[in-house]
Amino acid sequence: MKHVLEILEERRAEARLGGGQGRIDAQHKKGKLTARERIELLLDHGSFEEYDMFVQQRCTDFGMDQAAKIPGDGVVTGWGTVNGRTVYVFAKDFTVLGGSLSETHAGKITKLQDMALKNRAPIIGLFDAGGARIQEGVAALGGYGEVFQRNVIASGVIPQISLIMGPCAGGDVYSPAMTDFIFMVKDTSYMFVTGPDVVKTVTNENVTAEELGGASVHATKSSIADRAYENDVEALLQMRRLIDFLPASNRDDVPEWPSFDDSDRSDLSLDTLVPDNPNKPYDMKELILKIVDEGDFFEIQEAHAKNIVTGFARIDGRSVGIVANQPMVLAGVLDSDASRKAARFVRFCDAFSIPLVTFVDVPGFLPGTAQEYGGLIKHGAKLLYAYAEATVPKITIITRKAFGGAYVVMASKHLRGDVNYAWPSAQIAVMGAKGAVEIIFRQDIGDAEKIAARTKEYEERFLSPFVAAERGYIDEVIMPHGTRRRISRALAALRHKELENPWKKHDNIPL
């Protein structure tokens, strides 16, 4: 018996070495951890249960039958816990044939995807790989297809998270693209469909990997990445933080953690947050941090479309999704990027029963050819659609401007907002006073005195929360300092909200 136990230990030790000590050292030299070290950091200590450690590739082409059969075949798979809650995880092992995907490697991932879906728990993929195993050809392509299909089936059922921690090219990019969130590590990770060499051949462009698909590009310009972190350790610890906000599946309630923040806590500084001058910005993030439990806010797409802020927080220990216009950037206007960013976030929250809290200060949609040619109508409609179809509790607080179509879009009463509050500083109107007067009193434009009088008249009549409140579009005008208490009470009242959209095969959101 002793002998077989020793054999098992030996085989495990061999598998744990992956591509060997030399390649592990090379990985460390690049500032990267190995697949197993990453999993150790991601999961609760000692909770990882590994599967398929001894799986080997079966390819016989291009000398692969002669090549070393490395147990595990370039991906480490299994499950463990994050703060006691089950998550499934796979981590590409770059030390084994560059983490490339073979048929057997894909089989390990799909087995794990099936388990995560069956057992209704989140799945996290850690990527660090060179794409399809080139020696395997179409078998590797088929493997990718199997993974993609499962990504789609699991979408909206269990949270799927991708963390890019090294190269991620070719077939490897499309699985993350279909998961709920993509995070990257700065300087050591990059993502692209085709690399710099192919780009040079096809388009004659000279770009580095970082310029083509580094975290600096994807977290800002392309919005492929939801956030970028300084190094492997920070990224993995932040994934633990994110998991704490998410329900295990679309049938589970949001997690509830002990909160040491009084739900009645009022904040008098909020009474003076909005400046008297309506053209002066203020920081919406200050408001968010002052309202949510312990100022803990996990921002999504922090560096992209900064004119809208999205992220997870808690009220009374339970997760909420926050969406807020940011007056500090482009006066908080809605443009194509902001609309797409918020629409995707709203849909995630709705799919996973995370109540939405929306803070509104929006002067409208951004005018101009750049926006119109870029499809603002369809992109703006995405956000409108997302809010309108959402059935989760929706609480909206208008802090200042809520003008025109943007007023309607931002979780208004008309889109089934459950509780719609306005601060006394709110201005709910079809547009700002200057634009309105110049249109309806066009004949007076040369007369500065008349225009000033008309502007004042318009401001007094429409630029307040009361016209909307008179119609019941606003449930109550509230004091800013009591906003946390109001939200907490509204969430409690909405805890058992029931609302269903009519049956359909699926909707047809303007893509």
- List, in sequence order, every residue forming a beta bridge with 192; answer none if it has no partner: 169
Q: Is 125 a catalytic residue?
A: no
Q: Does 92 bind ligand HXC (CB under 6 A)?
A: no
Rounded to the nearest whole angstrom, what is the least distance from the CB of residue 196 to ligand HXC in the complex?
Answer: 9
Task: List CB contacts of 359: < 8 A, sequence separation 6 or more.
Answer: 284, 287, 288, 322, 323, 324, 325, 396, 397, 399
Which of 170, 195, 311, 404 is catalytic? The answer is: 170
Angle between helices 103-118 and 138-154 (to 10 degrees): 10
Query: Residue ranges of the alpha helices (H) in 390-463?
Result: 404-409, 433-440, 448-462
Rounded to the nearest whole angstrom, what is the least distance from the CB of residue 97 to ligand HXC in the complex?
Answer: 4
Q: Does 134 bind ligand HXC (CB under 6 A)?
A: yes
- 3-state secondary structure at position 184: strand
Q: Which of 97, 139, 270, 426 binds ligand HXC (CB under 6 A)?
A: 97
Q: Which of 171, 196, 332, 364 binds ligand HXC (CB under 6 A)?
A: 171
Task: List CB contacts of 218: < 8 A, sequence separation 6 or more.
Answer: 182, 184, 191, 224, 225, 228
Tokens of 352: 């996973």
Q: Applying CB under 6 A, what is the total number of residues that bind ligand HXC? A: 16
Q: Which of 115, 141, 451, 477 binds ligand HXC (CB under 6 A)?
A: 141
Q: Does 72 bind ligand HXC (CB under 6 A)?
A: no
Q: Which is nearer to ligand HXC, 66 or 369 (CB)?
A: 66
Q: Does 213 bind ligand HXC (CB under 6 A)?
A: no
Stretch that binds ligand HXC, among 44-52, 133-141, 237-245, 503-511 (CB under 6 A): 133-141
Q: Which of 80, 170, 196, 278 binds ligand HXC (CB under 6 A)?
A: 170
Measured between alpha carbons, how far is 98 from 128 in angstroms, rounded to an integer? 8
C-alpha distances in Å from residue 323, one per residue of 162, 170, 302: 22, 33, 12
Q: Does 493 bind ligand HXC (CB under 6 A)?
A: no
C-alpha distances in Å from residue 265, one per residue of 420, 423, 488, 511: 20, 17, 10, 42
Q: Which of 32, 36, 105, 133 binds ligand HXC (CB under 6 A)?
A: 133
Kindly report the number of other CB atoms within 10 A of residue 344's CB atom: 20
Q: Is 63 a catalytic residue?
A: no
- 3-state secondary structure at position 130: coil
Q: Does 355 bind ligand HXC (CB under 6 A)?
A: no
Q: Is 170 a catalytic residue?
A: yes
Q: Is 448 a catalytic residue?
A: no
Which of 19, 72, 131, 171 is catalytic? The answer is: 171
Q: Which of 125, 159, 167, 255 binds ligand HXC (CB under 6 A)?
A: 167
Measured between alpha carbons, how far is 389 from 401 in angstroms, rounded to an integer? 24
- For residues 132 and 141, the answer to whether their CB atoms sit within 8 Å is yes
Catalog residues that contact ligand HXC under the rule CB under 6 A: 97-98, 100, 130-134, 141, 144, 167, 169-171, 174, 195
Which residues does the annotation mark as catalytic? 170-171, 405-406
